[in-house]
Chain A
Amino acid sequence: MTDLSPQLLLYIVTAGGLFGIGLYGFIVGPQTLRRILALNIIGAGIFMLMVVLAYRGLADDASLPSTDPVLHALILTGLVVAVSATAFALALLARLNQAKAAQCSQDQLRHKQGPGQ
């Protein structure tokens, strides 16, 4: 069915599993922070798949066995892009929470003033 060695198979299945776990977390949530974490887990799963794919170069019977530097470079680029997006998402989340908190305290203030009038 498959030509992959057991080690590669193990890591590939793990990478797929991480994708699945992240996907579940992203759909179910419920808090936004957890969905952001879930996205990062999906990303980690995909990058792990890429690392394993790059590792195939070592297992090869090629004349110059080495890992795939192109894939490694792609992963580094992808990691930076992912962390940038995460940072922006977290900044948006912080702003949202701050706005919510301000709203809450305003409501409480109105509540307290309410009976007095």
Chain B
Amino acid sequence: MSLLLFDTILCLLLLALALASILSRQLAHAVILYIAFGLMMALAWARLAAPDLALAEAAIGAGLTGALCFSALAHQQIQLKPDVLSWPQRLWPAVFVLLMLGGVLAALLQLPPTASQLIAVTQAGLGNSGVSHPVTAVLLNFRSWDTLLELVVLLLALLGARQVAPEVKPATSWSLSLSWSRLLAPMVILLAGYLLWAGASQPGGAFQAGALLAAGAVVLRLNQQLSWLSWSNFWIRLLTVSGVLVFVLTALTAILLTPGNTDVVWLRWPPQLAAGIILLVELFATIAIALTLTVLVAGEPASTGAELGCGEGV
């Protein structure tokens, strides 16, 4: 009973925060409310027995998206008077949304209470997958094609954002925050390594570790450290694409190692090598994710303006 009470409060809080974020007058308030919403969402997912996702949501939904939205707010022009919508402008969308919501909810209530049979199939395949944590097994073995494409999407977002991003003004550093970020950096690296390693048997994995590393790097970057971390540096580019590159090259090597029709064994890891391969792929994915997210959030260091020749219009 008390758990149901907790669930009810949590759900109401989620709905209220989302609504407030949509309806608040000022954009800054909307962003802050959205971050609070993301944190509550992470709590809800932890409650629903999904700790991997709660970790990822706290890092992404609340942390990363929030940071990105704040840096977008900085570019936003200050509005002197907030836009006020007339009643018909609010009413008709509301009617439409309520109708659609009614339809969707009516369908959702028909969902069966039993889960997919795939759970049993996954557990049966776990022995040959090389890892003991089922989510990691699905991500990097059973459905690794999805994960590979996902890494490509992340890389693409970086390419697109880099292409259009306006110049960033260098942040002013300050001794206290600088020394604190320096103190944090080794701890962040240690924790990210742990998350990556833990992913094989318990909640954790490449993305969570990468997001954490990126957070550390962004803090350092905002304090004007790590000036070598830019796209025009060949090694940085190599490491950023290495997430996808190592994935593909490993898969190709695995094809060479196993005889048979190439289409069938594409992305099949030999069972005795699977654990090592997955760790290798995850390691480079973590590095690539961390670098990508860092450049996405903190932008290029301002000093690279002079040496564009490497990455731009040849």
Identify the A interface with B (CB < 8 A): 1-25, 27-28, 30-31, 33-34, 36-38, 40-41, 44, 47-49, 51-60, 62, 64, 66-77, 79-81, 83-88, 90-95, 97-98, 100-101, 104
Question: Once the chains bind, are B49 and A67 in contact (CB under 8 Å)?
Answer: yes
A38 to chain B, nearest CB (A): 6
Asked if B56 is an interface residue, CB under 8 A from chain A, the answer is yes
> Given A16-B101, A60-B114, A80-B207, are A72 and B53 also a contact pair (CB < 8 Å)?
yes
B interface secondary structure, majority: helix
Asked if B267 is an interface residue, CB under 8 A from chain A, the answer is no
A12 to B232, alpha carbons, bound, how many Å?
Answer: 47
Which of the candidate stretches B70-78, B184-192, B271-279 sits at the interface with the other chain? Answer: B70-78
Question: Once the chains bind, are A94 and B75 in contact (CB under 8 Å)?
Answer: yes
Question: Once the chains bind, are A75 and B53 in contact (CB under 8 Å)?
Answer: yes
Which of A56, A60, A80, A101 is B77 in contact with, Cβ under 8 Å?
Answer: A101
Asked if B4 is an interface residue, CB under 8 A from chain A, the answer is yes
Question: Once the chains bind, are B157 and A88 in contact (CB under 8 Å)?
Answer: yes
Give the total number of A-B pairs whose CB atoms are below 8 A apart.
Answer: 263
Asked if B64 is an interface residue, CB under 8 A from chain A, the answer is yes
Q: Which residue of chain B is the closest to A82 with respect to CB atoms?
A: B60
B-chain residues with CB within 8 Å of residue A25 when the two chains form the complex: 21-22
Question: Once the chains bind, are B93 and A66 in contact (CB under 8 Å)?
Answer: no
Q: Which residues of chain B in 268-288 are interfacial with respect to chain A, using CB atoms and an 8 Å cutoff?
A: none
Question: Once the chains bind, are B101 and A98 in contact (CB under 8 Å)?
Answer: no
Which of the candidate stretches B33-41, B175-183, B302-310 sits at the interface with the other chain? Answer: B33-41
Question: Once the chains bind, are B157 and A84 in contact (CB under 8 Å)?
Answer: yes
A107 to B292, alpha carbons, bound, how many Å?
Answer: 37
Question: Once the chains bind, are B104 and A53 in contact (CB under 8 Å)?
Answer: no
Question: Once the chains bind, are B135 and A72 in contact (CB under 8 Å)?
Answer: yes
> Given A44-B41, A88-B161, A91-B164, are A28 and B105 also a contact pair (CB < 8 Å)?
no
A-chain residues with CB within 8 Å of residue B150 when the two chains form the complex: 77, 80-81
A83 to B165, alpha carbons, bound, how many Å?
Answer: 17
A68 to B44, alpha carbons, bound, how many Å?
Answer: 17
Instruction: Give the interface centre of A9, A13, A67, A87 by most chain B CB atoms within 10 Å.
Output: A87
Q: Which residues of chain B in 123-167 are interfacial with respect to chain A, using CB atoms and an 8 Å cutoff?
A: 123, 134-135, 137-139, 142-143, 146-147, 150, 153-154, 156-158, 160-161, 164-166
B-chain residues with CB within 8 Å of residue A28 when the two chains form the complex: 22, 85, 89-90, 93
Asked if B120 is an interface residue, CB under 8 A from chain A, the answer is yes
A28 to B88, alpha carbons, bound, how many Å?
Answer: 11
Question: Once the chains bind, are A70 and B138 in contact (CB under 8 Å)?
Answer: yes
A32 to B94, alpha carbons, bound, how many Å?
Answer: 19
A-chain residues with CB within 8 Å of residue B147 when the two chains form the complex: 77
B-chain residues with CB within 8 Å of residue A27 when the two chains form the complex: 93, 96-97
B-chain residues with CB within 8 Å of residue A69 when the two chains form the complex: 119, 122, 134-135, 137-138
